[in-house]
Amino acid sequence: MSDLMELTGISMEMAQQFAINLAIALAIFIIGRWVAKIVTGIARRIMQRANLEDTLEKFLCNLLYAVLMAVVVIATIGQLGIETTSLLAVLGAAGLAIGLALQGSLSNFAAGVLIVAFRPYKVGDVIEASGITGKVEEVQIFTTVLKSPDNKKIIIPNSQVMNAEIINYTANGTRRVDLVAGCGYDDDLDKVRAALEAVVAAEDRILPEPATTIAISELADSSVNFVVRPWVKNEDYWDVYFGLTEAIKKRFDQDGLSIPFPQRDVHVYQHSTETGG
């Protein structure tokens, strides 16, 4: 009976000690995560004061937070009585297997480092990658986050981005608007050119340099096609594109110029048949 009571007492003591260790471990995890967030926030503010590029800033902050949380998790496990040295040894021995299993994640991480190092794009750029177009919101450790023109959030693995063609629409600060305006073969080409020049001159957002190109590009089946290629700031691209398209139509109507559309002539033949009596 005394042995049973002694065993019960030991069990109660061990349970109490485990409960204490569990409570401390939870406290370490909660406080550690809080501290990790604070340290990451401080690092972010330091980078902002140093005028560090947004892309690099967000990438480093994500990486710092991941490292700090790894330390917190190890400390939490150690508080529960698990030998962290043995755990790390096991993890090290299993590193090859884990690496093979996580080839995709590791390649995404390596691609993220290359993106930050070589900067084919940065936060705020409008890019096309892997057939997807959007504004770069964040370059994370494993993925790049884009916002589509219709406000969708698109997440692309970094390795997929780096292994495909990247088109950066806003890297150079200015873009060329490419429009085609067709007129009829019977229209006065000099009058058409003057109308297009007047439309371009009335648009204040078009840059004086490089000069706007207005030229005949094609003698098409139904029309004589002019190209209108002004240069604008990136942020004005779509406003100028839509504005010029409307202005050209109105100016052609005002000047009596035609905008041809495909036409087809249909010939109907009537055959008479004679019947014999």
The pLDDT of residue 1 is above 60? no
Q: Which two tokens stand for residue 215?
A: 């030229």
Supply the pLDDT for residue 119. Answer: 85
- Residue 277: band (very low, low, confident or very high) from pLDDT cuts 50, 70, 90: very low
| Average pLDDT in the chain | 82
φ and ψ at 106, to 5 degrees? -65, -40
Q: Which two tokens stand for residue 87?
A: 């755990």
Domains of the chain: 7-86 (1.10.287.1260), 119-168 (2.30.30.60), 174-254 (3.30.70.100)
> Which of 231, 217, 232 minimizes the C-alpha distance to 182?
217
Supply the pLDDT for residue 193. Answer: 95
Measured distance between the N- and C-terminal CA atoms of the chain, rounded to whole angstroms: 133
- Residue 267: band (very low, low, confident or very high) from pLDDT cuts 50, 70, 90: low
pLDDT in tens, 8-26: 666 677 677 777 777 888 8
The pTM of the whole model exceeds 0.75: no
- Residue 189: band (very low, low, confident or very high) from pLDDT cuts 50, 70, 90: very high
Supply the pLDDT for residue 154. Answer: 93
- Residue 114: band (very low, low, confident or very high) from pLDDT cuts 50, 70, 90: confident
